[in-house]
Structure 1
C-alpha cells in the first residue's frame, strides 16, 4: 500500500513539475480549457437565475381562489381550513373589505369605487404552492375549483407552460453546448499530452527497456491532464463569477425600473468544485486516450 501511494505521489509531483516547466504554454492551455468550460457554466448559472426570476415574478407561482360573493363566514372559514391542510402551499387570505381598499388606492379608481352602492368584491385566498410544475399546478387548480362556495380559481397556466418549455429548450441547448465544448477540452488535452509524449519518447523507450509498465509510464500524464482540467475549471468559475458581477449592476437597475428587486446568483462553492471536477475528468479522459494511442505506436 505504501509503495502504491509513493508511486502516485511521485507521479503527481512529476505532473506538477511539468506544469511549471513551461509556464507560458501551460497558461495558454489553461485559458483554452477555461474558455471552453466558461460558456456551458455561464449558461447553467444563467438558466438557474432565470428560473429564480420566473419563480419570484408576480403571479407566476400563485393561484387565486375567489369565493362566492354571498359566501358566509363559516364557508370562508371552512375553505381556509381546507387550504391550510395543504402543507405544501403557503396561504394568504384577502378579505373583500381589504380588496376594496386596495382597489381604491389604484390610480383613477377612487371615484368609481365611491359610486358603488355596495362592495362587489368577494373574499379570496392567494395560494403559493411549493411544487411549480405546470401539470401539478393545473391539477391543484381543478381540485380547488371543485370545492363548495368557490366561484373561480385563476391560474395563468399557459404562461407557466410556456416558461417551462423555454427552460427545457434552454437545458437541451446547454447540454449540446456542453458536449461540444467538452469534446474540445478533450481535444486540447489530447494534443498537449501527445506533444509531451513525443518530446519524451527517448525516456519512455529507456523506461520500457528496464521494465517499466505501461501503467507506470501513463500515470504522470494522467495526473497532468487531470490537473490541467481542474485548473481550467477553476479559471472558468472565476470568469463566470466576474461576468455575473459585472452584470449584477445593470440587472438590478433594470429590475428596479419594473418595481422589483433582483440580483444574479453567483456560483456556489459546490458548483465551483463540480466545475473543477468535470474539468479534471475530461482532462483525464483526453490524457488517457492520448497516452494509450502513443504507447501503441511505441509497440
Structure 2
C-alpha cells in the first residue's frame, strides 16, 4: 500500500513540475479551459436565478380566489379551513373594502368609483403556491373552483407555461453549450499531452528500454491532465463569481424598481467543488485518450 501511494505521489509531483516548468503556457491553457467552463456554468446559474426570481416577484405565479358577493363569515371560515388542509402555500385574505381602496388609489378611478351605488368588488384570497410547475398550478386552480361560494379563480397559466417553456429551452441550450465546450476542453488537454509526449519522446523511449511499464509512464501524464482540468474549473468558478459580483448591484436595483427583493445567487461551495471535479474529469479523459494514441508510436 505504501509503495502504491509513493508511486502516485511521485507521479503527482512530476505533474506539478510539468505545470510549473512553463508557467506562461500553463496559465494560458488554464484561462482557455476556464472560459470554456465559464459559459455553460454562467448560463445554468442564470436560469436558476430566473426560476428563483419568479417566486420573489409580487404577482408572479399567484392564484386569486374571488368569492361570491353574498359570501358570509361562515363561508370565509370554510375556505380558510380548506386552504389549510390543501397546504398549497402561503395565502392572505383581501377584504372587498381593501380592494376598493386600492382601486380608488389608481389614477383616474376616483370619480368612477364614487359614481357606483355600492362596492362591486368581492372578497378574495391570494395564494402563492409553493409548487411552480404549470400543471400543478392548473390542478390547484381547478380544485379551488369547486369550493362553495367561489365565484372565480384567476391564474395566468398562459404566462406560466410560456415562462416554463422558455426555461426548458434555455436549459437545452446550456446543455448543448456544455457538451460543446466539454469537447473543447478534452481537445485542449489532448493536444497539451500530445506536445508533452513529443517533447519527451527520447526520455520515454529510454524509460521503456530500462523496464518502465506503460502504467508508470502514463501516470504522470494522467495527473497532469487532471490537475490542468481541475485548476481550469477553479478558474471558471472565479470568473463566474467575479461576473455575478459585478452584476449584483445592477440586478438588485432593477428588481427593486419592480417591487421585488431579489439578489443574484452565485456559486456555492458545493457548486465550486462540482465544477472543479468536472474540469478534472474532462482533463483526465483528454489525457487518457492522448496517451493511448501517441504512446503506441514510441517503442
Q: Deviations over 1:64-103 (max 9, x none)?
A: 0111111121111101100111224112111222222222
Correspondence 1:57-76 to 2 at 5 A: 57-76=57-76
CA contact (8 A) 1:226 1:282 kept: yes
Partner Cα separation in structure 2 for residue 267 and residue 102 of structure 1: 41
Which position in structure 2 is the counterpart of 1:36?
36
After alignment, is 258-267 or 140-149 more displaced? 258-267
Q: Deviations over 1:144-198 (max 9, x none)?
A: 1111111100000000000000000000011111111110000000000011111
Partner Cα separation in structure 1 for residue 143 and residue 294 of structure 2: 65
Partner Cα separation in structure 1 for residue 195 and residue 209 of structure 2: 22
CA contact (8 A) 1:94 1:125 kept: yes
CA 1:88–1:3 in 2, change beyond 3 Å: closer, same or farther?
farther
Which position in structure 2 is the counterpart of 1:119?
119
After alignment, is 82-91 or 7-16 more displaced? 82-91
With the length of structure 1 as denominator, give the TM-score of the two structures: 0.95
1:165 and 2:165 aligned? yes
Q: Structure 1, unaligned stretches of length 5 or more?
A: none
CA contact (8 A) 2:58 2:259 kept: no
Which position in structure 2 is the counterpart of 1:87?
87
Q: Structure 2, unaligned stretches of length 5 or more?
A: none
CA contact (8 A) 2:56 2:261 kept: no
Q: Secondary structure at the match of 1:211?
A: coil
With the length of structure 2 as denominator, give the TM-score of the two structures: 0.95
RMSD: 1.5
Which position in structure 2 is the counterpart of 1:24?
24
Structure 1 runs of 4+ with >6 Å offset:
none
Correspondence 1:167-186 to 2 at 5 A: 167-186=167-186
Correspondence 1:1-299 to 2 at 5 A: 1-299=1-299
CA contact (8 A) 1:66 1:125 kept: yes
Q: CA deviation at 1:111?
A: 3.3
How many residue pairs get aligned? The number is 299
